[in-house]
Amino acid sequence: MTEGANMTDGRSRVPMVVLLLASAIGVSAMPGRSQAQAGDVQPVSVQMGVRIPMRDGVNLAATIFAPQDQRTPLPVILHFTPYIASRFSARALWFARRGYVVAAVDVRGRGNSEGKHRPFVDDGRDGHDVVEWLARQPWANGKVAMIGGSYTGWDQWSTIKEFPPHLATIVPAISTYPGTEGIPKNRNIFLLYTMHWLNTVSGVSEGPSFDDDFLRGKWYEMYRRHLPFRTLDSVAGNPGTEFQTMVKHPAVDGYWDAMNPTTEDYARIDRPVLTITGHYDADQTGAMLHYRRHLRYAAAKVREKHYLVIGPWDHSGSQRSKRENAGLVFGPASLIDNNELHKQWYDWTMKDGPRPDFLQKRVAYYVMGTEQWKYADSLEAIPTTRVKLYLDSPSTGANDLYSSGILGTKPPSRSASDRYVYDPLDTRPGEFEMEQGREYDSYNIMGTNAKSQRYATSASRFGNGLIYHSEPFPAATELTAYLKLVTWISMDVPDTDFMVTVHEVMPDGTSIQLTDDALRARYRESPRQEKLVSPGEVTRYEFNEFWFFSRQIAKGSRLRLVFWSPNSIYFEKNYNAGGVVAAESGKDARTAHVTLHHDSRYQSYLEIPVVATAGKY
C-alpha cells in the first residue's frame, strides 16, 4: 500500500491516517527495501472507523494497521476485544511495522461497534464473520490469525469452533473457560470479582474505574450483612449487566456449553494452535482445559500442531513477561519477548518461515527454583513418578499451624479423623482479609510468602480448616504437573464448599503457594448434576483440577496442605442450607461440623508428581 492510498471496507472510502513511525523509532525509511527482508521495521498506515458487517446486519468497528508501503496482499492478525480496540494499538503497530496487516476490532456492543454486548454469547459467530470479511479484502492474502489473552484468548476458541475457512492459526493466551474455570466461577463457586469485570465491559465505553478499597468495601458489605449473592449487582450499583443470567446457571449446562467448543468441535479443529499461560495466571485452569480437551479429542497429526508455553507469570505477565510475579523474583530466563514469539509463530504458520527457536518441543515449561526452561513432547511425557502422601494426625489433631497433621509416605495404621467447624455467620475471616488488603486478593490466588502464610494462619486462627505438613525433603526435588487430593469427609449439613492450597515451606520458614483447588460438595460427582450430602455419611471427594506448576522443592523444605471451607469476601458464600446458594442469606445459615477421615478404611491422600530425574522422595 503506497502512501496516501485509500483502503475500502466495501461500502465507503475513509482517508488513511498515515503514521511515519520509522523516524520516531530511529529507523530510516527506505522505500526501496523489500518487505521480506528480515528485521525490517516499516512505516505504518492506519485506517480508523472501518465498518465490518455481520450476518444479522450489525456493523462492528475496526481499526486497520498496515505497512505503509504494502505492495502485495499480506496475512492479517485479528485482535477481537471487549476492552476497546484502542488498548491494542501499541502491539498492532509493532506487528504492522514488521510485515502484517492488523485489525483491532471491538466486539458487538463495545467501543464503536453496534449492537448489545452479551459476554461470551455472540463472539463466536461474529468472529467467524470478521475473519471471513478480512480475508476477502484486497490487502489480505486470505490468511487470518488471531491474537490476545484472557477474554480475547477465549474468543479465539469461540471463533475457531465456528470454523471460518480462512482462519489459519490462533494464539490463545491466558484464556478463560466460562462456566467452568475463570470468570465468572470456578468449580461452580462464583467469584465476587465477576462484578468488577462486568463493570469493566458494560456499556459501549470503558466502565467506571474503582480503586481496590472501594471494590473490597462493596464485597465486604455483602459479606458483613450476609446478603444473598444474587444481590451483588445491585450492591455494586450496576444491575444492568448479564450478572443475573449467569447466576441462574450455577451448574455447567447448555448455557455455558454454547460458549465453548464441544467434544466434536475439538475433534474437528485442525489449525495450528499456540497456547500460552503462566503458573500464576488467574485463568491458567481455563487455558489448560482448552488445551487438554483439544489434545484429547483431536487426531494425532493435529495434536502435533498444538504447542504450549507455561512460564512463571501471572495474568498480565503471560502477555508481557516480567521477572517478578506474585511477590517472587525469577531468573533472567523467565523473560521472553512475547511479541517476537508471536511473530515467529505467524511467520511459521502463514509465511512458510522456520519454527520458532524457542519451541524446541511441543511443551515448554519453566521450572521455578532451577530457573530454567524444560521441554517435552506432551504433558504426559514429563518423566514423573506419582507419590502418595497420606493424611494423618497426632492425638492433638490438625487444627493448628504449629501442631498440625501429617503428610506421610505410609498409610495411617490407626483409626483417626480431624474435625473443624465452619460457621457462615462468623465474620472474623472477612475482617482479617480486609486488614490484609489487596495482598490477599483471591482472584490472583497464587501468592507471596505473606499471603501463603495467611491462608494457614486464617484456618488456624478461626478454626474453619485443617493443616498438614510433610517431612522435610531429603534432597532438592522437582515437582512438575498436577496434584490430586482424595479425601473422605462426613458432615452434618447438606452442602458446603471446600478449598485446598498446597505450599512449599522452606527451611527458613518462607512459604510459597504452589497450587490450589476447590469443590462445592453438591457437585462432588459432577459439575453438571447436584447431589446433596446425606448428613453423617462418609463420602469420597476427589480434587483433580489443581493448577499446573513446576518447581524444584529445596532440600529441607516441607509441603503444607491447608484444607478449609472458605469464609471469604472474595467468594460466593455457601450458607450450608442446601438450597439455591446464590439466593441464600444469613437467615438460612447452618453451621457445618466437618470431619476428615484418614484411617485404614478411609485413606485420604495427596498425590504429588515427582520428576524421575530430580531425586527420590
The model's pLDDT over 204-220, given as tens digits with 9 standing for 90+, comes to: 776 666 667 888 888 99
Which residue in 429, 448, 430, 428 sits closest to 439, CA to CA?
448
Q: What is the pLDDT of residue 209?
A: 62
Q: What is the pLDDT of residue 18?
A: 33
Which residue in 591, 584, 588, 589 sits closest to 228, CA to CA?
584
**Domain of residue 11, CATH code:** 3.40.50.1820
**Domain match, 294 and 377 both:** yes
Give me the DSSP letters along 79-145: EEESS-GGGGHHHHHHHHTTT-EEEEEEPTTSTT--S---TTTSHHHHHHHHHHHHHHSTTEEEEEE
Contact 14, 5 (CB under 8 A): no
Q: What is the pLDDT of residue 204?
A: 77
Give the cell for residue 465: 480448616
**pLDDT, mean over the chain:** 88
Q: What is the pLDDT of residue 175?
A: 95
| In the block, residue with C-alpha cell 453423617 | 536
Q: In the listed set 364, 382, 400, which residue is the last one of a domain according to the structure? A: 382
* 257 in a structural domain: no
Of the pLDDT bands very low, low, confident and very high (cuts 50, 70, 90), residue 614 is: very low
Between CA 293 and CA 271 the distance in angstroms is 15
Give the cell for residue 188: 461452580
Please tell me the least confidently modeled range out of 54-58, 311-315, 521-525: 311-315
* 256 in a structural domain: no
Query: DSSP 3-state assignment of 471?
Result: coil
**Domain match, 83 and 20 both:** yes
Of the pLDDT bands very low, low, confident and very high (cuts 50, 70, 90), residue 459 is: confident
Between CA 172 and CA 221 the distance in angstroms is 36
Which residue in 103, 138, 74 sits closest to 347, CA to CA?
74
Q: Enter the DSSP assignment of 205.
A: S
Residue 525 reports pLDDT greater than 70: yes
Which residue in 135, 71, 62, 74 sits closest to 101, CA to CA?
74
Contact 213, 438 (CB under 8 A): no
**Domain match, 398 and 516 both:** yes
**Domain match, 370 and 389 both:** no
Give the cell for residue 177: 473457560
Between CA 393 and CA 407 the distance in angstroms is 9
**Domain match, 124 and 226 both:** no
Q: What is the pLDDT of residue 447?
A: 47
Percent of residues, the chain, with pLDDT higher than 90: 73
* 103 in a structural domain: yes
Residue 7 reports pLDDT greater than 60: no
Burial of 450 (0-12, 13-18, 19+ CB in 10 A): middle
* 254 in a structural domain: no
φ, ψ (nearest 5 deg) of residue 424? -60, -20
Query: DSSP 3-state assignment of 76?
Result: strand
> For the chain, how big is the Rg over CA atoms in Å?
25
Q: What is the pLDDT of residue 372?
A: 97
pLDDT in tens, 156-188: 999 999 999 999 999 999 999 999 888 899 999
Query: DSSP 3-state assignment of 15?
Result: coil
Give the cell for residue 85: 480496540
Residue 449 reports pLDDT greater than 90: no
**Domain of residue 464, CATH code:** 2.60.120.260
Contact 424, 577 (CB under 8 A): no
Q: What is the pLDDT of residue 14?
A: 33
Q: Which amino acid is at 594?
A: V
Query: DSSP 3-state assignment of 451?
Result: helix
Angle, CA 47 vertex, CA 45 and CA 53 arms, to 5°: 145
**Domain match, 483 and 352 both:** no
* Mean per-residue pLDDT, 89-97: 96
**Domain match, 163 and 290 both:** no
**Domain match, 237 and 267 both:** no
**Domain match, 207 and 162 both:** no
Which residue in 577, 388, 419, 400 sits closest to 496, CA to CA?
577
Per-residue buried b or exposed e for 18-34, using 16+ beta carbons within 10 Å of the residue's own CB: ebebbeeeeeeeeeeee
Q: Which amino acid is at 299?
A: A
Per-residue buried b or exposed e for 57-91, using 16+ beta carbons within 10 Å of the residue's own CB: ebbbbbbbbbbbbbeeebbbbbbbbbbbbbebeeb
Q: In the listed set 142, 170, 198, which residue is the last one of a domain according to the structure? A: 170
Question: What total number of domains does the chain contain?
Answer: 4
Percent of residues, the chain, with pLDDT higher than 70: 88
Give the cell for residue 447: 501468592
Between CA 196 and CA 409 the distance in angstroms is 44
Query: DSSP 3-state assignment of 306?
Result: strand
Q: Which amino acid is at 75?
A: P
* 255 in a structural domain: no
Residue 395 reports pLDDT greater than 90: no
Residue 436 reports pLDDT greater than 70: yes
Of the pLDDT bands very low, low, confident and very high (cuts 50, 70, 90), residue 31 is: very low
Contact 424, 586 (CB under 8 A): yes
Q: How many Cα atoms sit within 13 Å of 516 on the Cβ side?
A: 28
Helix (H) or strand (E) holding 593: strand 592-597
Of the pLDDT bands very low, low, confident and very high (cuts 50, 70, 90), residue 438 is: low
Give the cell for residue 225: 450483612
* Mean per-residue pLDDT, 73-84: 96
* 433 in a structural domain: yes
Q: What is the pLDDT of residue 456?
A: 72
Q: How many Cα atoms sit within 13 Å of 214 on the Cβ side?
A: 9
Residue 530 reports pLDDT greater than 50: yes
Query: DSSP 3-state assignment of 158?
Result: helix
Report the length, in residues, of the chain.
617
Q: How far is CA 23 from CA 29, 45, 282, 408, in A?
A: 7, 14, 39, 65
Q: What does pTM read for this prediction? A: 0.90
Give the cell for residue 530: 447436584
* Mean per-residue pLDDT, 386-392: 96
Contact 84, 48 (CB under 8 A): no
Q: Select the highest-mean-pLDDT range: 195-199, 237-241, 284-288, 613-617.
A: 284-288
Between CA 226 and CA 248 the distance in angstroms is 19
* Mean per-residue pLDDT, 382-393: 96
Angle, CA 241 vertex, CA 240 and CA 243 arms, to 5°: 125
- Domain residue limits at 372: 182-187+262-382
Please tell me the least confidently modeled range out of 116-125, 335-344, 396-405, 562-571: 396-405
Q: What is the pLDDT of residue 451?
A: 54
Q: Which amino acid is at 65?
A: F
Q: How far is CA 347 from CA 99, 119, 305, 350, 404, in A?
A: 10, 32, 15, 5, 55
Q: What is the pLDDT of residue 4?
A: 31
* 34 in a structural domain: no
Which residues, 6+ apart, have CB-to-CB distance to 182 below 8 Å?
176, 282, 283, 285, 286
Q: Which amino acid is at 303?
A: R
* 347 in a structural domain: yes
φ, ψ (nearest 5 deg) of residue 504? -95, 125
**Domain match, 459 and 590 both:** yes
Q: In the listed set 366, 382, 398, which residue is the last one of a domain according to the structure? A: 382
Contact 431, 368 (CB under 8 A): no
**Domain match, 317 and 337 both:** yes
Please tell me the least confidently modeled range out of 214-218, 406-410, 417-421: 214-218
**What residues does 486 pair with on adjacent strands?**
542, 605
pLDDT in tens, 469-509: 999 999 999 999 999 999 999 999 999 999 999 999 999 98
**Domain match, 207 and 269 both:** no
Please tell me the least confidently modeled range out of 39-48, 318-327, 397-406: 318-327
